[in-house]
Amino acid sequence: MTEKYDVIIVGAGAAGMMSAIEAGKRGRRVLLIDHAKKIGEKIRISGGGRCNFTNINTHPCKFISNNPKFVISALKQYTQNDFIELIKKHDIRFHEKKLGQLFCDESAQQIIDMLLLECEAANVILKVDTLITDIDKQGDKYFAVIDSNKYFCDSLIIATGGLSIPKIGATKFGYDIAQKFNLNIVETLPALVPLTFSEKILAICKELTGLSVEAVVSFKKILFQEGMLFTHRGLSGPSILQISSHWKLGKDIKINLSPKLPIIKFLTDKKNSNPKQDINIIISEILPKRLAVIICNENNVSGNICELSNKILVKLSNSINAWSINPTGTEGYRTAEVTLGGIDTNEISSKTMMSKKHAGLFFIGEVVDVTGHLGGYNFQWAWSSGYVAGRYA
Ligand SMILES: Cc1cc2nc3c(=O)[nH]c(=O)nc-3n(C[C@H](O)[C@H](O)[C@H](O)COP(=O)(O)OP(=O)(O)OC[C@H]3O[C@@H](n4cnc5c(N)ncnc54)[C@H](O)[C@@H]3O)c2cc1C
C-alpha cells in the first residue's frame, strides 16, 4: 500500500507541530508522525511543568552554533512576539518569572493542547505510536516506510529533536537520516546539564546538598550570574547549566561565590576595624553558614582575624571570589535539557531550513546545530525554525 502527502513531518514535538500547523494552513496535505504514544512530552515536563515557552529578550546572541548568524533569519520570520500572540489567541495566561522568561500560569499541557488544536484546524493528520523503519528518496519524492507501507511526500521535515532524556522518546533518528543523505553533523554533546566532580569537590557538594547561592560561573570569558545549587552528584542550578554548554572537558571553571563583594577589601577592613572577630563568623556574614564553615576548613583558617596573615586572607578571598574547579564531566543525556551540536548549519538554508544538497528535505528544532541558552530560547528556536520550514515545505 502507498499513500501520498505533500508534506511528511517526523517528530511531533515543539518544532514538528509548529511546522505542521504552518504547512497545513497553506493548504498542504500534511502527515505528522511520532513514535511516542504521547506527543509533546518535552513540552509537558519543561519549566517545572509550566513550560518556559519563550523569552522576551530573544536575540541571536542567546544561541550557540558553529555559525552564530544562522538563527537570524528564522528568528526574524517568526519572533517571540508572534508566539506570544498565539498564546493570547488561545487565552493562555502567562507571566514573566525573571530575565524575560515567560511561563504558563497554569500548566505546560495548555501549550500542547493549543498546538494540537491548531494542527486540527490546519487539517494535519497525526499518527502517533508509529515506527518508521526506513526513509528514502524515489525520483523527486521522499518516502517513509511504516509496516511495509510507503508514505510518499514532496517535502520531508525531520523534527526528531536531540538526544537528551531518552526515556521520554529521544532518539538519534534525525542524525541517522542526515548521515544517510551525506550531510555533515557537528559533534553532539549534552548541554544545559549539571556538572560532576572528583572526590574532593564531590564531598563538599554532598555536604552542602540543597544549598543554593547566587554566583558568577565563568569559563574563559563567558560568564553567567544566576543561582548555583549544590547536589549530591555535583553542581547544578541555572548558572552551572548555562556554563555547561560552553565548558570543555579537562578545563577549569571559575566560580565567584560573592559576586557583589570583593572579599579581600572586606577582610582587610574587618582586620582593621574588628581584629578580635572570629573568621568563621566574618565569612558567615557574607555566605550561608554551612558554606562559610567549609570554606574556612578547606583553607585551614580559624580564630581571630588579626592572627591571619595578609597572604592567607588573599588565599581565602580567592577561594570565594575566584574558586577554580575542574569538572570531571556532566550528568549526560539522562538529565541534559538539550543537545549541543547536530546537523551542520552549512548544510541548510537559514531562510527555509531546507537542505542545500537535497531539495525538499528539511531539518528543524533541536536536531540542528543550534542550542539556546537556558530561559525559553530553545522553544523559541523550535517555534521559529518550525514556522519557517512550514512556510516553504
Ligand atoms: C527537562 C527539560 C526541560 C526543558 N525546559 C525547557 C524550557 O522551559 N524552555 C525551553 O525553551 N526549552 C526547554 N527544554 C528544551 C526543549 O524541550 C527542547 O529544546 C525542545 O523540545 C526541542 O524541540 P524539538 O521539536 O526539536 O524536539 P522535541 O520536543 O524533543 O520533539 C522531538 C519529537 O520527535 C519524536 N521522535 C524522536 N525520534 C523519533 C523517531 N525515530 N520516530 C518518530 N518520532 C521520533 C519524539 O518522540 C518527540 O516527540 C527542556 C528540555 C528538557 C529535557
- Regarding the beta carbon of 45 and ligand 1, being less than 6 Å apart is answered yes
Asked if residue 379 has its Cβ within 6 Å of ligand 1, the reply is yes
CB-ligand 1 contact for 35 (6 Å cutoff): yes
**Domain coordinates in residue numbering, the chain:** 2-188+340-392, 194-331
Task: Answer whether 115's CB lies under 8 Å from 9's CB.
Answer: no
Q: What span, in angstroms and rounded, lies between the C-alpha atoms of 27 and 6?
A: 9
Distance CA 180, CA 196 (A): 35
280 touches 303 (CB < 8 A): no
Instruction: Give the distance (Å) from ligand 1 centre to CA of residue 144.
Output: 21
Ligand 1 atom closest to residue 51's alpha carbon, by position in its atom list: 8
Averaged in consecutive runs of 10 residues, what is the pLDDT profile of the chain (393 residues)? 95 98 98 96 96 98 98 98 98 97 98 98 98 96 97 98 92 97 98 97 97 97 97 98 98 97 95 96 96 96 95 96 97 97 98 98 98 98 98 98
DSSP 347: G
**SS3 label, residue 162:** coil
**How many A from CA of 161 to the centre of ligand 1?**
5
Whole-model pTM over 0.95 = yes
Exposure b/e, 239-266, CB count within 10 A at least 16 = b: bbbbbbbbbeeeeebbbbbbbebebbeb
The answer to whether 291 and 208 are in contact (CB under 8 A) is yes
- Would you state the pLDDT for residue 1? 84
* Residue 189: predicted pLDDT: 97
Distance from chain centroid for Cα 217: 17
Q: Is the CB of 164 under 6 A from ligand 1?
A: yes
User: Per residue in 15-49, is it b (16+ CB within 10 Å) or e — as a string?
Assistant: bbbbbbbbbbbeebbbbbbbbbeebbbbbbebbee
The radius of gyration of the chain's CA atoms, rounded to the nearest angstrom, is: 25
Given this model, what pLDDT does residue 369 score?
98
Return the DSSP state at 142.
E
Q: Answer yes or no: is the C-beta of 385 below 6 A from any ligand 1 atom.
A: no
Q: How far is the CA of 306 from the centre of ligand 1 (A)?
A: 56
C-alpha of residue 351 to centroid of ligand 1, in Å = 22
* pLDDT of amino acid 49: 97
- For residue 19 and ligand 1, the question of a CB distance below 6 A is answered with no
Among 46, 126, 188, 241, residue to substitute to test ligand 1 (most atoms within 8 Å of Cβ)? 46
- CATH architecture of the region 2-188+340-392: 3-Layer(bba) Sandwich (3.50)
**H-helix or E-strand containing 387?**
helix 377-392
Nearest to 201 by CA among 255, 248, 243: 255
**Which phi and psi angles does 305 have, rounded to 5°?**
-65, -30
Check: CB of residue 383 under 8 Å from CB of residue 79.
no
Residue nearest to atom 11 of ligand 1 (CA): 376
Q: 101 C-alpha vs ligand 1 centroid, how far in Å?
A: 18
The CATH number assigned to the domain with range 194-331 reads 2.40.30.10
Q: What residue's CA is closest to ligand 1, atom 10?
A: 376
Separation CA 30–CA 21 (nearest Å)? 9
Asked whether the beta carbons of 326 and 150 are under 8 A apart, the reply is: no
Is 245 near ligand 1, meaning CB less than 6 Å away? no
Other C-beta atoms closer than 10 Å to the C-beta of 315 total 14
Nearest protein CA to atom 6 of ligand 1, as residue: 46
Q: Which atom of ligand 1 is nearest to the CA of 55?
A: 11
Burial 282-307 (b: 16+ CB within 10 A, else e): bbbebbeeebbbbbbeebebeeebee
DSSP 35-78: SSSSS-HHHHHGGGGT-EEEETT--GGGEE-SSTTTHHHHHHHS
